[in-house]
Structure 1
């Protein structure tokens, strides 16, 4: 009996020790799991916080309304970011970028204009096409001059504004007029599509060749006239983050956002076609 009691005591002590070790092991596993979760959360937060600061976007004038809206949506999704825009003729913007103007993203109204920037090795990644656009004849509300075709733009009685041939809307107009076999002598060449549209809105000209989205965005200030040859001069819009960006993370994020489904819905609602 005296031998049984010590053995039982030893067994009991061993069991207690085993439980203690088990408890330590469980505690260590929980701490390790907690540490891993914490590290994962920290990494996620770090990734999210990486998109901060100001991102400057150089964009074609025809994108002003939609990109202004998309910029606000991007800021809402990334509270630490401010989006600033410089809208204008794509050729002027491209020349500025190549000359060293501080910009983070370029959204052009033609692949040829974007090529000016890519050939200078000023894009961080290959450009991605995100939209297409088609020309339309913008006339004064109600079409008082009864301009019902592209051929009517050639009539001496009609004052017409065209975009300069060096900018995408002007290059598209040249293609459309050639396809329709129509020769037009405009009273003015404008440096971007917004300026050409404004000439119609102000009554300074009777018509202008602009993008369909510009007519829609004018909200009744002009009337649009479709013409068949417009299909021969479709404009493609590419976007790319720039190589010398001062905020590469935000530049990449904004460029990616523009090709995302939510942004594409906004562009479609404005009249842009899918790329």
Structure 2
């Protein structure tokens, strides 16, 4: 039996990487999917058609999640077309690596908007629909950097710590309405976002790109492997299931032992 049959899920940043994996897994579990991302129209349509083959309804919106008006328009329109909005996964994120004293102001503003403010915008917009049904699941894809810090990532660490705090506050606000809010805190996942960091990290740490993975990316992983997209998708679906009716306000680590140290 499909665990999300009849539900509708919005996953931000869902055309690649973690978000794409979650969208695919949820479609396989019977959910209608609202895709969001800034890829080219051709790439977005290819993803939409691929997921639609699973038999669910799939919509796509090229909304800037850092823009409150675009977020509100996307959510209102999708709810009208699909009739409900039961699950929200805040996954959209960007990264930039630079020492704090030379960190560009515009990069700070962009990371805070995309990685933190966007989650507030989406949560605020979906809650009326979830409250009306007295059921909802909100999962924020945070990071181990929502629990611990690393050098040269001031904006990202600040945003992810903020996202964990937002998770806890939102969970308390909506507990009486049958809505749960949780965060997942992955370690390094082998995604395009992480691959993009390799050259930046090499420059920042004065290492070759071949040295960066073992010496920087996986240095804090007790299990010397990347976390996989499939593992995060499985955890997300579990948090959206009825088995997690009373699991709320948590930040769950899937970080290969990083935050245990």
* TM-score > 0.5, shorter chain as reference: no
- Computing the radius of gyration from Cα coordinates, the structure with the larger value is 1
Q: TM-score, normalised by structure 2?
A: 0.32
- Higher RCO structure (Cα 8 Å, ≥6 apart): 1
Q: TM-score, normalised by structure 1?
A: 0.31
